[in-house]
Amino acid sequence: MRRTFIAGNWKMNLDRQAAVALVRELVEQVGPQSRVDLAVCPPAVYLEAVAGLVAGSPIGLGAQNMYHETSGAFTGELSPAMLVDVGCRYVILGHSERRQYFGESNEDVFRKAQAALAAGLTPIVCLGERLDEREAGRTREVVEGQFRGSLAGLSADEIQNVVIAYEPVWAIGTGKVATPEQAEEVHAALRSMLENRYNAGIAERIVIQYGGSVKPDNAAQLLGQPNIDGALVGGASLTASGFLGIANAAP
């Protein structure tokens, strides 16, 4: 049985004081146990501060990006081991903002996913179509291309430690949420891609999050779909009421 997993992507938001205040509030409100898996992904410079605050709580820590090399002359980059060192368990990879503004390709995302797994991190690998692609009826083709390029090269052992986030680009930060039916259709398609590439048992076990303007008031319907196992949350994860409102809406 898949556990619901709600992760907050803070992106390049909040300052140290606000980040610390938000995490303190989350830790206090969540208490010692959570019905669903939870993680926060703060900006890299606040990871260590947040790690100290979530330690011993059910809230996991994730980074928003990393580089695939283990060390060396890669100015400005962070290695998987560095993220583990500061307490990360997760890392978001291939977010559409990284693909769009920083030119990350499927190949880059694949290399990063392999490196993250080798270091013991759980990658949250994002994929999703743009509006023009959806309108051209190419959603499945685009998502399948990203699946093949970013994920399908992983071994059966590796893929079992991956979380997939389906994030239609047109729904990210726009307030335009995919309908539960639109999202479920792609999630089900992803699960059948997993079954075809690996096997039915693996496909059944992999958590597939939806991301794109998830809020407390639309979360229950989305999370109620059979193949939607959680949410990757941007804007609404910047307040405790938004993030936990979503977590509490999970069936």
Residues in touch with ligand PEP (CB under 6 A): 9, 167, 172-173, 211-214, 232-236
Least CB distance from residue 96 to ligand PEP, whole Å? Answer: 8
Q: Which residues contact 108 (CB under 8 A, 6 or more apart)?
A: 68, 94
The catalytic position among 97, 104, 167, 184 is 167
CA distance 12 to 246: 21
CA distance 99 to 125: 12
Least CB distance from residue 214 to ligand PEP, whole Å? Answer: 5
- In total, the chain counts a number of residues equal to 251
DSSP-derived pairing of the beta strands 208-211 and 163-166: parallel
Residue (28 or 217) nearer to ligand PEP, CB: 217
Residue (9 or 146) nearer to ligand PEP, CB: 9
DSSP-derived pairing of the beta strands 208-211 and 90-93: unpaired
Least CB distance from residue 212 to ligand PEP, whole Å? Answer: 5
Residue nearest to ligand PEP (CB): 234
**DSSP 8-state assignment for residue 233:** E
Residue (9 or 227) nearer to ligand PEP, CB: 9
CA distance 34 to 30: 6
CA distance 247 to 104: 30
CA distance 68 to 211: 24
Residue (194 or 238) nearer to ligand PEP, CB: 238
95 catalytic? Reply is yes
Residue (60 or 211) nearer to ligand PEP, CB: 211
Least CB distance from residue 236 to ligand PEP, whole Å? Answer: 6
The catalytic position among 95, 97, 104, 187 is 95
Least CB distance from residue 238 to ligand PEP, whole Å? Answer: 9
In the chain, what is the straight-line distance between the N-terminal and C-terminal CA atoms, in Å?
Answer: 14
Q: Which helix (H) or strand (E) holds 40?
A: strand 37-41
How many CB atoms within 10 Å of residue 113? Answer: 26
Residues with catalytic roles? 95, 167
